């Protein structure tokens, strides 16, 4: 059985090096090389799939280089706006045999947390999110928390719910960011990796749904599943739910 040839953007970074270790321990994936800041993308020109855990400022350039060359991509870099997603769709349409998988989180537990939050949201008038990450994370709020907020908001809208109750008048920034009507509070702290709490409240009770990634190894089952998936699924796939059968 021929192995899938994998290139890694950000191969010397914390996530990239973990991808190299995890993929290198499999029988069906082969890491052929990687690119770091200032490196030449041609180093991974023979890859079938490129994995990207870099920076929001770099990821679009990597996509625009890979997709026209027929190199599929698995992307964990965050900072994707609707405009960026539209551009990725456009690139995939112009290269119909190429797949791109973009996910805000590759942890199976985090994906389940988002699904549980959306399922519970219609039962609780109040909803807020606290996301906690290491201090080297470039974006805030995190992609995972923004995705979660969107799913909570969609579930509330389907249920005909109004805005989250909030009588705050004097804020000074303490109420956090607002994504689709849901407040998100970001923490950046040494000692953390990736953590999120969804807080839901109704009269007389609260429900807390929390997920913790204590080690970057927790993302690898989702990343490797994504690499195997994307070679056979052209076009854009958002999130790993379909990949893992949810």
Residue numbers annotated as active site: 133, 137
Helices 56-66 and 82-94: angle between axes, nearest 10 degrees? 10
Q: Are 88 and 218 in contact, with CB atoms under 8 Å apart?
A: no
Which residues, at least 6 apart from 26, have a Cβ–Cβ distance to it below 8 Å? 224
Q: Are 229 and 51 in contact, with CB atoms under 8 Å apart?
A: no
**Backbone phi, then psi, for 7, in 5-degree steps?**
-110, 155
Q: Which of 28, 7, 22, 13 is nearest to 218 (CA)?
A: 22
Which tokens sit at 220? 């690898």
Q: Name beta bridge partners: 204.
A: none
Q: Are 29 and 227 in contact, with CB atoms under 8 Å apart?
A: yes
Walk across the sheet containing 29-35 and list its strands: 29-35, 4-9, 49-52, 72-75, 99-102, 235-238
In terms of Cβ atoms closer than 10 Å to its own Cβ (0-12, 13-18, 19+), residue 145 is buried
């Amino acid at each position: 059985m021929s192995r899938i040839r994998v290139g890694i953007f950000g191969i010397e970074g914390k996530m990239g090096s973990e991808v190299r270790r995890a993929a290198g321990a499999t029988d069906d994936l082969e890491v052929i090389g990687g690119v770091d800041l200032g490196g030449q993308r041609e180093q991974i020109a023979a890859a079938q799939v490129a994995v990207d855990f870099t920076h929001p400022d770099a990821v679009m350039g990597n996509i625009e280089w890979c997709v026209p060359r027929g190199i599929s991509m698995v992307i964990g870099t965050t900072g994707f706006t609707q405009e960026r997603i539209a551009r990725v769709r456009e690139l995939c349409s112009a290269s119909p045999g190429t797949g791109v998988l973009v996910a805000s989180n590759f942890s199976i537990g985090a994906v389940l947390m988002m699904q549980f939050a959306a399922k519970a949201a219609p039962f609780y008038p109040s909803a807020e999110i606290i996301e906690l990450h290491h201090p080297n994370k470039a974006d805030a709020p995190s992609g995972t928390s923004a995705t979660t907020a969107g799913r909570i908001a969609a579930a509330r809208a389907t249920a005909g719910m109004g805005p989250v109750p909030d009588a705050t008048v004097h804020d000074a920034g303490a109420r956090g960011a607002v994504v689709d009507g849901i407040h998100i509070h970001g923490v950046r702290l040494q000692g953390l990796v990736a953590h999120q709490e969804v807080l839901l409240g109704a009269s007389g009770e609260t429900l807390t749904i929390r997920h913790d990634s204590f080690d970057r190894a927790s993302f690898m089952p989702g990343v490797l599943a994504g690499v195997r998936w994307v070679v056979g699924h052209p076009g854009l796939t958002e999130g790993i739910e379909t990949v893992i059968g949810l």
